[in-house]
Amino acid sequence: MRLLSRYAILYLMATPSAEADIFVEAAATAMEFDYTEFDQNNAFIDDEQGLLNGRSVSIGYTSKVVDHVITHTKYDGQVDYTGETGSVSPQPLNTQTQSTWTETSYRQIWKSFQKHQGTTIYLDLSATTWNRNILPTTTPVASAGLQESYDWFSAEVGIFIDIIRTAQHALELGYGKFRNIDSTISVMLKGNTSLGTNDDTAIFSIGDKSGDRYTLAYRYRIDYDYIISVVYDKIETGFGGSSIIVNRPPTGINSTVTEPASNARHGTLSVRLAAYF
C-alpha cells in the first residue's frame, strides 16, 4: 500500500504543460556501488563494493519552458562484502551481497533560464527501495547471512550549466543537493529451529541524511526525433544510525537490532536513447 501511494504521488505531480510533445527514453546503465558502515566511534564495520548492472525507462512531456519526466530504474547484481563478525573477539568476514536497487522519480526541468549557453533548474522527487541480502558463508568464519530492505523518499533541487551547446551537440555540468526523507529498514530475524521459533521481521526508522549529486552529460541529436546521451553521475550520501530496537515476535523470543551509520559513494554511467513524438 505504501509503495502504491508513492507512485501515485509521483504520477499526479507530472501534469503536462500546454503545447507539450511526448518523448520516451530507454537506457542501459551501470552503478559503481560503494557503501561503508561505521560505529558510534567512527570505527569501520563493513564495506560493500562492486558493479551493479541496470536499465531504465522514462516518459515525459517537453515544451519550450518546462519538461516533466517520470523515470523508473532498476539495478541488480552481487558486490563484495568485507567486514567482521559481531562477536566479542571480531573475526574478518568476507562474502558477497546480492543487491537489488529500484527507483521511481519525477523530475521537473525549467528551461526559461536557458539561452545559447545558459542554465536550467530542476526539481526531483523520488522513491527508492534497496534490497540487501548478505549471503551466508563458511570461510574464513561461518556466518548465517542477513536480509535487509531499505526504503526512502528523496527531494532534490539542482542546476545544469551548458559548457557547449549547438544545434546538434550539448555538453552539460550539473550539481544537485538532496535530502533523504522517511528512511526505514526492515530486517529479517532468523528463527532458532531448536527452539521452534520462526523467522520474524523488524521494521524501524533510520537517520535521514542530505547528499550531493555531480553530473556530466553529453547529448547528440541524431535528427529531429532522436537524441542519444551519455551521462555520468557521482552521488555522495548515506544514512544516520538508529536507536537500539528490541523486537518481540509472537514466539516471545526477544531480538535486539540496530542500524549503524553509513556513507555511500555511488557512480552511475548510462547510455540513453530518446524518441520524440
Query: pLDDT tens-digit profile of 49-97?
Result: 999 999 999 999 998 889 999 999 999 999 999 988 765 667 788 999 9
**Cα-trace Rg, the chain:** 22
CATH superfamily of 2-276: OMPT-like (2.40.128.90)
Domain ranges of the chain: 2-276
Lookup result for grid cell 566479542: 88
How many angstroms separate the CA atoms of 185 and 153, rounded? 13
Per-residue pLDDT tens digits for 131-154: 999 999 887 777 888 899 999 999
Contact 72, 57 (CB under 8 A): yes
User: Coil, strand, or helix at residue 108?
Assistant: strand
Q: For residue range 18-30, list pLDDT tens digits in order.
A: 455 899 999 999 9
Helix (H, G, I), strand (E, B) or coil at 93: strand
- Residues across the chain: 277
Least confident of 109-123, 192-206, 248-262: 192-206
Nearest to residue 150, comparing CAs of 240, 29, 70? Answer: 240
